[in-house]
Structure 1
Amino acid sequence: MLHPAQRTAPKIELHVHLEGTLRPALLAEFTGDGPPAPGPPYAFTDLYGFIEIWNRVTACLRGPEQYRRALLAYAAEAAGHGAVYLEPIVDAEERLGGPAAWADVLAACCDAAAEARERHGVEIGLTPQVCRGHDVEVAEEAARVATRFAGRGVVGFGLSGAEGRFPTLPYAGVARIARDGGLPFVPHAGEAAGPAAVREVLAMGAVRIRHGVRAVEDPRLVDELAAAGTVLDVTPTSNVRLGAAAPDRPHPLTVLTAAGVRCSISTDDPAIFDVTLAGEYAVAARLGVDAATAYASGLAGALCADVTRDRLAALGRRAYGPAAPVPRTAAEPGDQAGVPGR
């Protein structure tokens, strides 16, 4: 059981899929007949089985109002676990009806982010994304839609999906459109594929990497990540359950942080993995990354405005004691992060 101080200490979460935050009660409201089989706890043995479950669970999200409610619900939950800053991921799903309808969803999420700030004291920067395997032209249009919300609540743009099944390079134009529109590129990599996938997204201009844990397979790459100050968003339980962390070896989080790589701590899909933000911070602590270090890495990777970064730094100093200034490694935004900068 978590000590109350562990639960309420300030935390930053940079890798949480909004669609994967739907707890059973809210999911039942959206579906009208309760969680789809197999129901929590969900059973899967690898990333591809997880993706099948994820698609079934999240198919109930079909309109702006449901996305708004989902974001407010997770903001309330995360705040209860000490979250002061979140970067939820929102997927450009085909079920939403194309880029125009997706714009309505992003607008609703931006409104919900502002409401969450007032109601729960949580600062939220949205990081929409497309999935490897999507039609490239549609993905590029989705990036253009997202750039319309730069400075209005959207702070970055990502790429998800199984690197092992779909190539990354065709989406270089997506990353360029996002960057040109003021949204830093924050892709998934180094989860379903190894170090080459991490190098590939770095070459495409990634400012932070979601997962990246399989970089441990290449010690030279680990050294390069540490030297560059690149932040990896590590999701400890997800990494184990999806096979990115080998059960017979030290967790990559331990190896990476020992080598000096900055690692933020996140839940990934908390409702599907049946985890909480405070719980994942506790797991990280058992793996050698204390809350102060996790918070500092989260702050280094956050795509937030300078005024927000300063406030978060002050919160961290009050909670964890004085520390050296945290460099702005993720976006170098100057003003509003994201506005130059699955």
Structure 2
Amino acid sequence: MPRIELHIHFEGSVRPDTLTAIARRNRLPVPDVATDFRDLHHFIDLWNVTTACLRTPDDFRRIVVDYAGEAKQHGAVYVEGIFTPDPALADEIGLDAMMAGYCDGAAEAEETHGVIVRLTPEQYRGSDPGFGMRVAQAAVRFRDRGVVGFGLAGREGRFPDEPYEPAMRYAADHGLGLVPHAGEAAGPESVRSSLRMGASRIRHGITAVGDPELLTEMAERRIVLDVCPTSNIRLGYATECDHPITRLVGAGVLCSVSTDDPAMFGIDLSHEYALAAQLGVTEDAAFEAGLAGALCDEKTRSRLEGM
């Protein structure tokens, strides 16, 4: 059955051999990225070690194409990929060059592998909100090249959302869907904050299980959650025996299934779908949620519905 993946950080999809090749080409030390994470903050620190190796538009193009090829092997027909521009690198090569690299990759991915790739760049909590606005403005400039959404990531719960809302509003006012990370490291109020800012979809959102009224609201509004089971388990927010996705689906909340950072977790899309099935999410339900949450245009949606 065809699969839709809505939550994949391209920077976290780079397999070790490719990361080594990119680091050497850019004359950087080859990173030794551990796979044992103490918590989300430690994971982000290690994730930054990986992303520091990606320095050129061609690096960005390559990792998009490579992941599309991998995802195709696991049935993916549509992927919404995330990338998080680094301020220092953006100053060095320019945000437009970064965006163009990812967009070139999305176009090549469909041509080479037949996988539809759309892009959802993001700002991150703890960064300069002014830089976040610059990222939003660049994202809007690339709407006609596959950018469909704009997100908010970073150390949830440590930094408030409010300073980053102007960039989110700007993106939404110019036609991009909003896809913030929320409800992972922080509780239900984080999800409510994202809904107040106009989120089209919530990345993670699993702590919403602690608020029955919120669950009812999300089910009624058909708010889709991007659930990444292994990521939640490895970072200490769930266990295989007690993962919130079971209760979320039981409450009628639409839950798509994604890998988050597959190279860093040592997993793939088939692994996540198998784990989700054990937790009560069928292939049909995952596809329905993915289709409902996808930010693509209606022509692309019709293509997916026919698969």
**Which TM-score band applies after superposition, normalised by the shorter structure?**
over 0.9
Which residue of structure 2 aligns with residue 155 of structure 1?
148
Report how far residue 98 of structure 1 moved: 3.0
Superposition pairs of residues 256-335 of structure 1, within 5 angstroms: 256-315=248-307
Task: Establish whether residue 89 from structure 1 lines up as the match of residue 82 from structure 2.
Answer: yes
Question: How big is each residue's C-alpha offset from its partner over 1:288-330, in whole Å with a ceiling of 9 and x where there is no partner?
Answer: 1011110110000000111111111111xxxxxxxxxxxxxxx
Of 103, 107, 125, the residue aligned with 1:132 is 125
The answer (yes or no) to whether the contact 1:24–1:35 under 8 Å persists in 2 is no
CA distance in 1, matches of 2:193, 2:241: 25
Which residue of structure 1 aligns with residue 139 of structure 2?
146
**Structure 1 stretch 132-141 or stretch 265-274: which is displaced more?**
132-141
Of 1, 4, 8, the residue aligned with 1:16 is 8
User: Normalization by structure 2: what TM-score?
Assistant: 0.96
Query: What is the letter of the counterpart of residue 37 of structure 1?
Result: D
Of 179, 182, 186, the residue aligned with 1:186 is 179
CA distance in 1, matches of 2:75, 2:143: 26
The answer (yes or no) to whether the contact 1:35–1:57 under 8 Å persists in 2 is no
Superposition pairs of residues 1-342 of structure 1, within 5 angstroms: 9-32=1-24, 35-39=30-34, 42-98=35-91, 101-245=94-238, 247=239, 250-315=242-307
The answer (yes or no) to whether the contact 1:211–1:235 under 8 Å persists in 2 is yes
Query: What is the letter of the counterpart of residue 36 of structure 1?
Result: P
Report how far residue 244 of structure 1 moved: 2.2
Query: What is the letter of the counterpart of residue 137 of structure 2?
Result: R
CA distance in 2, matches of 1:50, 1:163: 13
Q: Secondary structure at the match of 1:244?
A: coil
Unaligned runs of 5+ in 2: none
Higher helix share: 2
Report how far residue 97 of structure 1 moved: 2.8
Q: Secondary structure at the match of 2:255?
A: strand
Q: RMSD value over aligned CA atoms?
A: 1.5
The answer (yes or no) to whether the contact 2:123–2:152 under 8 Å persists in 1 is yes
Query: What is the letter of the counterpart of residue 96 of structure 1?
Result: L
Q: Which runs of 4+ in 1 moved over 4 A?
A: none
CA distance in 2, matches of 1:293, 1:98: 43
Higher strand share: 2
Question: How big is each residue's C-alpha offset from its partner over 1:208-238, in whole Å with a ceiling of 9 and x where there is no partner?
Answer: 0000001011111111111110000000000
Q: Secondary structure at the match of 2:145?
A: coil
Percent of residue pairs identical: 52
CA distance in 2, matches of 1:311, 1:248: 34
- The 1:38–1:218 alpha-carbon spacing in structure 2 relative to 1, beyond 3 Å, is same
The answer (yes or no) to whether the contact 1:62–1:95 under 8 Å persists in 2 is no
CA distance in 2, matches of 1:225, 1:244: 20
The answer (yes or no) to whether the contact 1:144–1:181 under 8 Å persists in 2 is no
Q: Secondary structure at the match of 1:15?
A: strand
CA distance in 1, matches of 2:44, 2:61: 23
- The 1:311–1:36 alpha-carbon spacing in structure 2 relative to 1, beyond 3 Å, is same
CA distance in 2, matches of 1:38, 1:71: 20
